[in-house]
Structure 1
């Protein structure tokens, strides 16, 4: 498929509610529960509970209106800033954060992380703590050198990101340019935590086939090393379903530290 005919997450119409229902919903036939929900939640819990990722400010730049990976982060970071690349995802995330009617139900994920923490009876407390920690939900644009222009954000102590670099980069060169823009939001010594899909080329949502840059762990590690990061943790879960909605081989989880 040539570049001109590809559908990109940030440039073409993206049905964020359909995305949530297909990949994140709490239903018996949800094929992606282990890969899209449990593995990321468990991995973030492990890293944040280990004690080597610390600070006050966390910036999240993730696919769609995802928030479930941030439950463990709100135990550490008092200021969580969420960046979205389109208005629909911004509105959907804000609807949940502000407890508005019609918000997507994330209770199954807060229950899962509460169980991991041994606090199964405190599901509502976990949700409220995250909502209170979210200070801003802002639209961003990777066409700008400062992706939040005209807003200038404080440098983050940690950046979390799920699938964004894969979904907005048409090739490896553009991946590097986008990665450098993300890196500028992070202080030296801070951590970048990435989730990426292994050897993926597309996913389906809203009846559209959305492009994903195909790569593997070696590519990600080499790319990050070129812009001053060292890897501190890596885990992969090989695919546990046979859905035709997406062609990934596994889910990769990385924690990097910025050295300069």
Structure 2
């Protein structure tokens, strides 16, 4: 396993299918389900079903080609735009979006979403609703002033970002700059729903070790406050597994509202 020099997710890319299999799959023995699937989905279901975030347009900026965190969002946002750093992740997600042969099987997460909502008899409708909500999948580059250049996006009512800031930021300054670029896409009064790992320094996939910026709950809260977001929800779950694939201590779900 090549773990000598940690790679950067947005610079070096990764094996997107291997990442999904290790951290999000329904395979027997998959250790991370409580942290990467169950906890974030339950938090987002609660936040959205209680009206903590609402509007028409949602922008998602999340790691890999994950979609399970968007099932609840598709019930409340008519339009979803997804931003990805890698062509491979765009291809993986596009394959699922159009239900093509070889698409990743997310049925375990659509079932989990249906169970949260009490609609277990509507699994097919849930997947169709999410697919129909996704308007665009675009490549993004945080080195650009306009991260979706040359495309210009309308400001979002809500942004969900899962496991991105700590993966693409080498230090505190970069974390703050990247956070500012994300909230530039947010309307005044809009909400940022941030999902991340606490006290993590690395993660492994495809036999390669990747960098993670180590931050704690206090740092994340302060970061959101410094860029003008008012925190109105925060939940932290301590790690529920034992594995040397990643060294995080907890998962955080936090909501910041942009000033009017």
TM over 0.5: yes
Instruction: Specify the alignment match of 1:110 in structure 2.
Output: 110
CA displacement at 1:52 relative to structure 2:
2.6
Q: Which runs of 4+ in 1 moved over 4 A?
A: none
Correspondence list, 1:14-53, <5 A: 14-53=14-53
Instruction: Specify the alignment match of 2:80 in structure 1.
Output: 80
Instruction: Specify the alignment match of 1:155 in structure 2.
Output: 155
Kindly report the root-mean-square deviation, in angstroms, between the aligned alpha carbons of the 2 structures.
1.0
Is 1:62–2:29 an aligned residue pair?
Answer: no
Instruction: Specify the alignment match of 2:123 in structure 1.
Output: 123
Tell me the distance in 1 between the aligned counterparts of 2:185 and 2:144.
13
Is 1:249–2:233 an aligned residue pair?
Answer: no
**Which stretches in structure 1 are left out of the alignment for 5+ residues?**
none
Tell me the distance in 2 between the aligned counterparts of 1:199 and 1:38.
20
Give the TM-score normalised by structure 2. 0.97
Instruction: Specify the alignment match of 1:134 in structure 2.
Output: 134
Partner SS, residue 142 of structure 2: coil
**Deviation digits for residues 14-60 of structure 1, max 9, x if unmatched?**
10000000001112201011111101111110100011311000000
Tell me the distance in 2 between the aligned counterparts of 1:226 and 1:144.
22
Instruction: Specify the alignment match of 1:206 in structure 2.
Output: 206
**Deviation digits for residues 93-144 of structure 1, max 9, x if unmatched?**
1111111110100000000010110111111110110000000000000010
Instruction: Specify the alignment match of 1:168 in structure 2.
Output: 168
**Which stretches in structure 2 are left out of the alignment for 5+ residues?**
none
CA displacement at 1:5 relative to structure 2:
3.9
Tell me the distance in 2 between the aligned counterparts of 1:8 and 1:80.
27
2:5 touches 2:209 (CA, 8 Å); kept in 1? no
Which stretch shows the higher mean deviation, 25-34 or 54-63? 25-34
Instruction: Specify the alignment match of 1:145 in structure 2.
Output: 145
Give the TM-score normalised by structure 1. 0.97
Instruction: Specify the alignment match of 1:217 in structure 2.
Output: 217
